[in-house]
Structure formats: structure tokens, C-alpha cells
Amino acid sequence: MLTATLIILLSIFSLASSSQSQSQSTTDVCIIGSGIAGSSVAHFLRKYSPTISQIRIFERHPVVGGRMATVTIAGETFEAGASILHPKNYHALNFTHMLNLKVKGPSASDSSFSLGIWDGQKFLFKTIDSDSKSQLVQYFISFANSIRMLFRYGISLIKMNNFVEVTVDNFLKYYESKESRPVFSSVEEMLKWADLYNLTTQTLEEELVGLKFSPLLIQELITVITRINYGQSVRISGLAGAVSLAGSGGDLWSVEGGNWQMAAGLIDRSNVTLHLQEEISLITDVGGFYELNSTNGNSYTCQITVVATPLDELTTQFIPEIYIPERKLQHTHATFVRGVLNPAYFGLNAVSDIPELVGTIESSELPFTCISVLKEHSANDFTYKLFSRQSLTDALLDQIFSIRNETLRINWGAYPHYHAPEVFAPFILDDMHLYYVNAFENAASTMETSAVSAENMARLILSRLAGQQPSGSYGLKSSTSDSNLQHPEL
């Protein structure tokens, strides 16, 4: 949920907003949602087909980007939602380069310089930290921390890396050339082709117990990671869990100035008519076309309609009704505080003893899932980000912080509440041209998975328009040959 305090300077892209548009018009493709999914669908449709005449994107908010958004606290801008990208997120990398955006290394919080695992009473584990700027000192500290982790969690730590690598390698199949990669008409088909489906049939915990991971590693470090990334326990699906673990590795990155610029740039380049502050409230099948009605009182006729937002909490009506499996969104409350943590809350003497990233284990008594330092402005002035499942009251924040100069809260309908076995909504919501990109979010919710789903969606739309059988015409090849990987020219 964007608050008025979210400042996103979209205007520099001078995207045309035509919310006072005509009361009736014809168009080819209408996309609901201007996040990475909607903007990527527009990008790939333009890339793969010169014949799509018009693309409209509807966005209920005054800014594009959706869950990619920034907050500004005392003049400094920070990611408020989706913050980190994996080094092998090739669509995002490609967008960033194509749009002349700058790649930024991770902030202290994201690379978790010092980590503490808090159980509500004490730190179960803490890495060592140093203020030294010397590379040699940092190298030794990092080495010492690896040894300490190995001592605590044993050989399972190495198994964890292997588990993540195998999953990431399978995911890379989605970047294979179009000639060897089928068009998928369902999420299940898409996951099975990349050998990822089985991971959605059991929980991360079941998966890791099966792989003989140490119980301590699962209860502590892995739980910390799933709580940070998905606000949920290790009972999320194995696939969402693996994606979550992949997001805790090294070389993570973001777009300097805000990840939302990927969506803005893609929309800008794709010759899209953007309707900002125009919420679609009704989608009616009028026989061969869809009529979209907005809360602004406008009506649009679309040959193809793409829903590029989670439908779970949406009030948009469909005539005739559509049926998708019930799915709950996990709400993550992001609280940004400019101030200083209270060391006494953590049973410590000095602020400097508090790790830069405080992760937590599963406990009903814990009011937050993590606290991280976004920036140290001076020894007595920090910006922090807290994630929690419930809103944090002022009274509680006054216990956690000794100084609190500015507080900003966002309640995100953040990602699906994951289950195993996972159930997937269809990509095609009727037997015509009503599509749902975010069905893929039940596999895993990230900027890159949205882009991957969007790329397949563009191909699905075009192949169905051309009257082709989506996957049959390409054949279900399962080649993993590296020679098929075509990352740079995606």
C-alpha cells in the first residue's frame, strides 16, 4: 500500500496519463497493473510482435511500479518494497542495462554485515563485526564468521548452497532461446518443464529434513531468511523457500535510485498509453471483446485483457465470474524509523553491540520479523527498516528505540501465503483472451519471477492470437544444454 509519503518522481519520465480519456474507445491490449509484471508484458509484446496496435496500462495509483516503491526519510530515499535482485536475475539485469539505469551494490542491511538471531530474550547467534575499513580486516572477519557458522550449523551449510544452486540452475532454463523453450499455458506446465514443480508439493521444512539438514540450521538461520524474505516460516513451499534462500546470498544488487525505474522505463519505451490513477472496477466479456470500466467512469474495449496484479484482495468484478483457487496474501508491515535502537531492549549495553541485521526465529512472542540498518548517518543517527506481521504500535516502538525522530509505516499485501502442496490459478482465466500473470506468484514472488511470467505471457498471447497450440507447437523439450542459454540478448 502506497502512502502519501511515498515519493516517486515519475514525472521525469513524462509518461502520458490520459485518465480523462474518451468514454468509449477500441484498443488491442489492456493491462491492469503497472508493476514489473504489467510493464514487462508490454515490453515483451512490443518486442515479439510488431502487429499489436495499442497497449494501455491502467494503474490505480498516481505512480507506476507497484510493489517496487521507495520511501523518503529525512531527504534519503530507500526501497520500501522489493529491494534486492539476484545476480542471475537476467531479465532485470537486461532491463537495467537497456534502460541505462545504474546497478547498485547491496546496502549494509541487505548484505547483512553483522547478523544476530534474536529469540525475544537473547541472541542465539551473532556474527562478529568491525568498524575497520581495511579490506584485510574485513576479509578475516568474514572468514572467521564463516567458520563460526560452520561450527554452529555444520556441514548442512554447504548442503544449503547446493540446494539453492540446483534450483537456480533449473530456473535458468527460462532464459533459453525461444526455439527450444515452449510457450506455457499453465503454471504447473511451466514449473514441470524446469524441474521445479516437485518443490511446490512439499514444504521447505519437509524438503530440508528429507535432505538431512541439521534441525538447528532449519530452526535458526533458514527460518530467519524465510521470515525476512516472505514473512513466513519454513512451512512455505520448497520452491518459495529455495528462492528465499537464493535471495540471501552474495552479490545481490538493486537499481540505483529505485527499482521502480525498471517499470517506468519499460512503459516509456513500449509505446504504452498509461492511465494513472485509473482503477479498473469491472471487466465484462462482451462477446469477442472485453469492456473495462474504471472508477473514473470511463469504459474501454479491449481485445486482450491482462491482469498483472494479485487478484486476491482486488474488488474488481468479472462478468461472467471467474474462478481461481482461494489464496491469502501475507501482509508485511514495513516500518521505517530514523533514530537509535535501544540496546537495553536487547539486553545489551551499547548500540554498537546490536547487529546491523537482527533476524528472528518463529515465536508467537516476537513482535517483529527483522530489523535492519538501512543507513548509519552518524554514531547516534540511523535509518532502520523493521518488518512485522502486525502493525507496530508507538508504545512498542518506544521500547525498541531510545530515540525516534521519524516513523513511517506501510502495510503491504506483500506476497502469497505459501502452502504445500501449492495450488495454482490459471494463466488463462477464460477460454478467450483474459490472462493472469500473477498466477505465477504462487511459485515464488519476486521481481524476476514476475518478469519471467510476463515474458511467457506475451508469447502465450501471441501464439493464441495466431491460433497456435501454446506448448504443443514447440514440443516439450527438456534440454539443459548451456549452449541454449541466451542471457545477454534476452
Ligand X SMILES: Cc1cc2nc3c(=O)[nH]c(=O)nc-3n(C[C@H](O)[C@H](O)[C@H](O)COP(=O)(O)OP(=O)(O)OC[C@H]3O[C@@H](n4cnc5c(N)ncnc54)[C@H](O)[C@@H]3O)c2cc1C
The residue range among 79-87, 122-130, 370-378, 422-430 that interacts with ligand X, by the rule CB under 6 A, is 79-87
Among 10, 15, 29, 33, binds ligand X (CB under 6 A): 33
What cell numbers appear for 413 in the block? Answer: 499485501
Asked whether 72 and 7 are in contact (CB, 8 A), the reply is yes
Looking at beta carbons only, is 52 or 228 nearer to ligand X? 228
Among 43, 66, 70, 369, binds ligand X (CB under 6 A): 66
Contact mark string toward ligand X, 446..465, x via CB under 6 A: xxx-x---------------
Looking at beta carbons only, is 330 or 402 nearer to ligand X? 330
Looking at beta carbons only, is 58 or 382 nearer to ligand X? 58
For the CB of residue 461, give the shortest distance to ligand X in the complex, in Å: 16
Among 261, 309, 383, 471, binds ligand X (CB under 6 A): 309
For the CB of residue 184, give the shortest distance to ligand X in the complex, in Å: 17
Q: Does 112 bind ligand X (CB under 6 A)?
A: no
For the CB of residue 89, give the shortest distance to ligand X in the complex, in Å: 7
Q: Does 338 bind ligand X (CB under 6 A)?
A: no
For the CB of residue 384, give the shortest distance to ligand X in the complex, in Å: 15
Q: Does 245 bind ligand X (CB under 6 A)?
A: no
Q: In the 3-class helix/strand/coil scheme, how is the chain assigned residue by residue?
A: CCCCCCCCCHHHHCCCECCCCCCCCEEEEEEECCCHHHHHHHHHHHHHCCCCCCEEEEECCCCCCCCCCEEEECCEEEECCCCCECCCCHHHHHHHHHCCCCEECCCHHHHCCCEEEECCCCEEEECCCCCCCCHHHHHHHHHHHHHHHHHHHCCHHHHHHHHHHHHHHHHHHHHECCCCCCCCCCHHHHHHHCCCHHHHCCEHHHHHHHCCCCHHHHHHHHHHHHHHHHCCCCCCEHHHHHHHHHCCCCCCEEECCCCHHHHHHHHHHCCEEEEECCCEEEEEECCCCEEEEECCCCEEEEEEEEECCCCCCCCCEEECCCCCCCCCEEEEEEEEEEEEECHHHHCCCCHHHCCCEEEECCCCCCCCCEEEEEEEEECCEEEEEEEECCCCCHHHHHHHEEEEEEEEEEEEEEEECCCCCCCCCCCECCCCCEEEHHHHHHCCCCHHHHHHHHHHHHHHHHHHHCCCCCCCCCCCCCCCCHHHECCCCC
Computed over its alpha carbons, how large is the radius of gyration of the chain?
A: 23
Q: Which residues contact 481 (CB under 8 A, 6 or more apart)?
A: none
Looking at beta carbons only, is 185 or 446 nearer to ligand X? 446
Among 8, 38, 182, 471, binds ligand X (CB under 6 A): 38
Among 43, 46, 56, 61, binds ligand X (CB under 6 A): 61
Q: Does 1 bind ligand X (CB under 6 A)?
A: no
Neighbours of 19 (CB within 10 A): 15
Looking at beta carbons only, is 197 or 436 nearer to ligand X? 436
Q: Does 226 bind ligand X (CB under 6 A)?
A: no
Q: Total binding residues for ligand X by CB under 6 A? A: 36
Q: Does 83 bind ligand X (CB under 6 A)?
A: yes
Among 45, 221, 306, 334, binds ligand X (CB under 6 A): 334
Q: Does 266 bind ligand X (CB under 6 A)?
A: no
The residue range among 81-89, 132-140, 343-351, 354-362 that interacts with ligand X, by the rule CB under 6 A, is 81-89
Among 213, 289, 336, 412, binds ligand X (CB under 6 A): 412
Asked whether 260 and 69 are in contact (CB, 8 A), the reply is yes
Q: Does 82 bind ligand X (CB under 6 A)?
A: yes
Q: Does 416 bind ligand X (CB under 6 A)?
A: no
Among 279, 291, 362, 430, binds ligand X (CB under 6 A): 279
Q: Does 316 bind ligand X (CB under 6 A)?
A: yes
Q: How far is CA 423 from CA 326, 380, 420, in A?
A: 9, 48, 8
For the CB of residue 68, give the shortest distance to ligand X in the complex, in Å: 5
Q: Does 27 bind ligand X (CB under 6 A)?
A: no
Q: What span, in angstroms and rounded, lies between the C-alpha atoms of 118 and 116?
A: 6
For the CB of residue 124, give the shortest distance to ligand X in the complex, in Å: 24
Among 15, 32, 245, 354, binds ligand X (CB under 6 A): 32
The residue range among 12-20, 27-35, 215-223, 456-464 that interacts with ligand X, by the rule CB under 6 A, is 27-35
Looking at beta carbons only, is 223 or 332 nearer to ligand X? 332
Residues of this chain that bind ligand X (CB under 6 A): 32-38, 58-61, 66-68, 81-85, 279-280, 308-309, 314, 316, 332, 334, 412, 414-415, 438, 445-448, 450
